[in-house]
Amino acid sequence: MPRSRLGPLAIESKLGDYPSQSCVWRAVHVQLKRAVAVKVFSSPFGATPEARTQFAEEWKTLKTVAHPAIARCFGGGFETNDAYLAYELVDGETLDAQLSRRTRLPWESVLELAEPLVDALRHLHEKGLVHGAIQPDKIMIAGLSPILIDLRTNRFDTSFKTSRPPTVQEIAFRPPELIQDPGSITGRSDLYSLGATLYFALTGRAPVDGETIEQVTQNVLTQTPVSAASIVMDCPVWLDKLIAQLLEKDPQKRPFGAPAVSLALAEVRRRAMSRTGVAEHASSGFSPLSVTDEKERDEARSLLGRHLVREDEVVDATLWHDKPWVLIGTLVLIISVLGYMVWPLNEAQMRNRAEEMLSQETQSSLNQAKNNYLRPMVNRFPDGEHADWAREQIDRVEMIQAEHALSVKLKRNLPLRNEGERLLAEAQKFERFGDTATAFDQYRSMETLLGDDEKYRPYVNLARRQIAKIESQSVSKDEAALIIQAKLADADREMQQGNVVASRRIWYSVIELYGNNANVAPLVIQAQQRLSESNSNFAPNDSQ
């Protein structure tokens, strides 16, 4: 798109894993000074009034969608032969990029990924909306949280859509009914695409294969995906069964809606955490009344360790609870359970369990490590061999959790909860600006003000971490003035090159960060004067 402005937006650079194929740009709303992701739709010969009206209604609807796991739409507009939608700019990498780097995710991470996405679909479907294109490159990972991007109300029956033909991978995540008739899209179509995405995240491969568009299209319609549990041996059978149900070719055989999937995910978590046995799952999933295929009968027998009665078999008349193997097995089971319950883990075993959970580096695993093993270690063995290590890990986990929570709040413009968050965010602003000297002073003040309050311990520890980092860089106390002078020089160069938005952004930053700093007041006044001059020379008359 050879232009630098699009309505009220100043266009900067392309976004996406493959920028050359992307029609999404990073832009800044000139008046609001807000960075956004703008998706541009080209219509060389213009569009009919009806199509433009329909598109305007679409962005009005999209603006009403507000959910933590869905990127906000701020609106849209038209500019000559282009139409556009402006979305919240989400910092991070796509799930597709993450999987290219890691191949696949642990099943615990897939579960963490699925839960907020299903809740996002519940929110959309309750509003009568369907995403229609869920796949790994439509999911951004912001910190540890997934964000669904590129929301549309109708991405098929509209004049404003991507002209690029679908890729092999995109087809692999489409439900069969959309391939046959795009007009048949429903909420259950989203559930299929979600199941395909979870399958890909869990196994590292798409649910159907093929090298050409034709092959993949045919396989989506006819090929039954290989069980995820047969590829990933530690995948819980309950998660495997749920994904298989999401990938049913017939929409009527999929879960009836996102709330049902949420309940199923909660059941997966409960069973996995309670170590429910496979035999119990098999007995709840197989019924002699519903198993009609001989292959399924054999699978049920192998899981249950007993026979499904055939019509020509002779039934043993002995009551099942009177059989010796039942009595002996029950006694062994009771003794084992009692032994497991009354025999607590020792300190070394607790450390091993904690290290295993910490290595997964997911929100859930870190929290489980802290609550199930680290805190109990400190309580049971306060002077033990691993007590100091456990305390260090608790501090580390709480730092990660506090830093992640603050990052999410800042990205989504949510209110800060306490003084620790506020002071840390303020110090980080100076550090990002390049003024490590002022940042250093801010972190030091956090240590002084909050150091004795236990509830702010994670924030103080984060401040101490940054203090150590800055001290290793030999910071000059006069750095603030030098930084501002350099930034003002950068702004002047940008202005001479015609990059008004970039220069104004620098002046605003100087005024916001140093407005109350008497030591650099002349430089702040200089920034205010430059900004005032630019306002008189540059008055944008477009609005979103």
pLDDT tens for residues 412-464?
Answer: 777 877 888 988 998 888 888 777 777 887 888 888 888 888 889 999 999 98
Q: What is the pLDDT of residues 140-194, one digit of tens each?
A: 988 778 999 999 988 877 778 776 778 888 899 999 998 888 888 899 999 999 9
Contact 196/247 with Cβ under 8 angstroms?
yes
Residues 457 and 417 in one domain: yes
Residues 61 and 137 in one domain: yes
Look at residues 276, 305, 332 and tell me which one is the last residue of a structural domain: 276
User: For residue 13, what pLDDT band results from cuts at 50, 70 and 90?
Assistant: confident
Residues 44 and 114 in one domain: yes
Residues 466 and 487 in one domain: no
- On whether residue 362 sits in a domain, the answer given is yes
- The conformation of residue 235, written as its DSSP 8-state character, comes to S
- On whether residue 330 sits in a domain, the answer given is no
- Please report the pLDDT score of residue 230 as a whole number: 92
Contact 57/75 with Cβ under 8 angstroms?
no
Residues 451 and 501 in one domain: no
Residues of the chain with pLDDT > 70, as a percent, come to 82
Neighbour order of strands in the sheet with 139-142: 93-94, 139-142, 145-148
Residue with tokens 């609001």: 32
* Closest by CA position to 125, among listed 254, 266, 269: 254
Residues of the chain with pLDDT > 90, as a percent, come to 31
**Host domain of residue 51:** 5-276
- On whether residue 307 sits in a domain, the answer given is no
- On whether residue 338 sits in a domain, the answer given is no
- Please report the pLDDT score of residue 340 as a whole number: 55
- On whether residue 291 sits in a domain, the answer given is no
Q: Which residues pair with 83 in a beta bridge?
A: 41, 78
Q: Is residue 292's pLDDT more than 60?
A: no
pTM of the model: 0.55
- Please report the pLDDT score of residue 293 as a whole number: 47
Q: Is residue 278's pLDDT more than 50?
A: no
Long-range contacts of 418-422 (CB under 8 A, 24+ apart): 418/455, 418/456, 419/449, 419/450, 419/456, 420/446, 420/450, 420/455, 420/456, 420/458, 420/459, 420/460, 421/459
- On whether residue 55 sits in a domain, the answer given is yes
Residue bearing the bigger pLDDT, 46 or 249: 249
Residues 174 and 193 in one domain: yes
Q: Which two tokens stand for residue 346?
A: 């020792």
Segment 360-381 mean pLDDT: 86
- Please report the pLDDT score of residue 11 as a whole number: 85
- Please report the pLDDT score of residue 389 as a whole number: 93
Rg, Å, the chain Cα set: 29
Look at residues 450, 471, 492 and tell me which one is the last residue of a structural domain: 471
Look at residues 218, 249, 276 and tell me which one is the last residue of a structural domain: 276
Residues 6+ apart with CB under 8 A from 428: 439
Q: State the CATH number of the domain containing residue 182.
A: 1.10.510.10
Q: Is residue 15's pLDDT more than 90?
A: no
Segment 99-118 mean pLDDT: 92
- Please report the pLDDT score of residue 20 as a whole number: 64
Q: Is residue 129's pLDDT more than 70?
A: yes
* Highest mean pLDDT (candidates 38-52, 106-120, 475-489): 106-120
User: For residue 474, what pLDDT band results from cuts at 50, 70 and 90?
Assistant: low
Q: Is residue 302's pLDDT more than 60?
A: no
Residues 365 and 462 in one domain: yes
> Up-side HSE of residue 541: CA atoms within 13 Å toward CB?
1
One DSSP character per residue, 166-224 reads: PPHHHHHTS-HHHHH-GGG--HHHHHHHHHHHHHHHHHSS-SS--SSHHHHHHHHHHPP
Amino acid residing at 78: F
Residue bearing the bigger pLDDT, 433 or 400: 400
- What does the alpha-carbon distance between residue 242 and residue 500 come to, in Å, rounded to a whole number? 53
Residue bearing the bigger pLDDT, 534 or 121: 121
Residues 445 and 513 in one domain: no
* Closest by CA position to 150, among listed 165, 131, 168, 167: 131
Span of 387-391, 445-449, 514-518 with lowest mean pLDDT = 514-518
Chain CA centroid to CA 207, Å? 21
Residues 405 and 483 in one domain: no
Residue bearing the bigger pLDDT, 136 or 338: 136
Q: Which residues pair with 93 in a beta bridge?
A: 141
- Looking at the 3D structure of the chain, how many domains does it have? 3
Q: Is residue 543's pLDDT more than 70?
A: no
Residues 398 and 529 in one domain: no
Residues 28 and 177 in one domain: yes
- Please report the pLDDT score of residue 311 as a whole number: 40
- Please report the pLDDT score of residue 364 as a whole number: 77
Amino acid residing at 217: T
- On whether residue 217 sits in a domain, the answer given is yes
Q: What is the pLDDT of residues 210-219, one digit of tens each?
A: 889 999 999 9
- On whether residue 154 sits in a domain, the answer given is yes
Other residues' Cβ atoms within 10 Å of the Cβ of residue 238: 22
Residues 98 and 227 in one domain: yes
Q: Is residue 514's pLDDT more than 80?
A: no
The continuous run of DSSP H or E covering 526 comes out as helix 521-537
